[in-house]
Amino acid sequence: MKTHITANPLETGNDELERYALEECVKRQQLDRRVSIMVIPAGHGELAAKFAGLGAHVLLGDVESQRHEIEDQILAAGLGDQIRFSSFGLAAIPAELPDEPFDIIVLNRGLCAMPYDEGRKTLRQLLLKLRIGGKLYVSVLGLHSELGDGYSAHEQRIEERYGKLSPAMASKYGIVGPLCLYTERNLFMLLLEAGASVLRTMTSTYGNVKGVAVRV
């Protein structure tokens, strides 16, 4: 099945979801208390630096191989007092993390590497690491992005949708393993089934699907 989105579906940039998360941080800072945020995976640390610039304390979660690079960037930016790195991935979230419960958790694309049911359980774990009223900002790769062209599981129901990209897309974006690609409705239901109250969902220009939910 051909799709209409052909721009880079992996682009994150200064997108709408990031803007919502930063605006939420500003609102919480105005309540004159310490704001605690987790960003997973760490990416290149730009979003964490933006949160730190607003006065928040940020935990970056990522694989151990990223530690040296990320910690060097934190020190170079002079943000060692506000940003810390913790070695873990979504498949093995620690029972306890520094600075939890969090006010905000930002999760970018990591859920796509696991089947839907596993993703739902992971989201539930993350929700429990938020304080009541804390917000979860999630981005996943979209079924109707460029990645959907030739995707082996395109016609599968979301519960069984876990397959490889076409050879062309896998080569273009360096993604070898299977993925679960989402529609906006799929992400809405995932958040709902994980126990969150869904505030909004959206689809980006590139076909990525994003959602904002709150722990109630």
Give tens-digit pLDDT for 9-25: 344 445 889 999 999 99
pTM score, two decimals? 0.90
pLDDT at 167: 96
Q: Dihedral sign for Cα 142, 145, 151, 153, please.
A: positive
Number of domains in the chain: 1
Whether 127 is covered by a domain: the verdict is yes
* Helix, strand, coil distribution of the chain in percent, nearest 5: 35, 25, 40
- Contact between 54 and 47 under an 8 Å Cβ cutoff? The reply is no
In a domain, 104, yes or no: no
What ranges make up the beta strands (E) of 71-161?
Answer: 83-87, 102-108, 130-140
Q: Of 61-70, 111-120, 121-130, 190-199, give the lowest mean pLDDT range.
A: 61-70
Distance CA 137, CA 62 (A): 17
Residue 200 in any domain: the answer is yes
180 inside domain? yes
Q: Exposed, middle or buried by CB within 10 Å (0-12, 13-18, 19+), for 213?
A: buried
Instruction: Identify the domain containing residue 193 by its residue range.
Output: 109-216
The CATH number of the domain holding residue 131 is: 3.40.50.150
Is 191 part of any domain?
yes
Is pLDDT larger for residue 15 or for residue 118? 118
Report how far Cα 128 is from the mean position of its chain's Cα atoms. Answer: 16
Answer for the pair 45, 67: CB distance below 8 angstroms, yes or no. no
Identify the band that residue 72 occupies on the pLDDT scale cut at 50, 70 and 90: confident
Does some domain include residue 131?
yes
Q: Does an H or E element contain 61, and which?
A: strand 57-62
Residue 37 lies in a domain: no
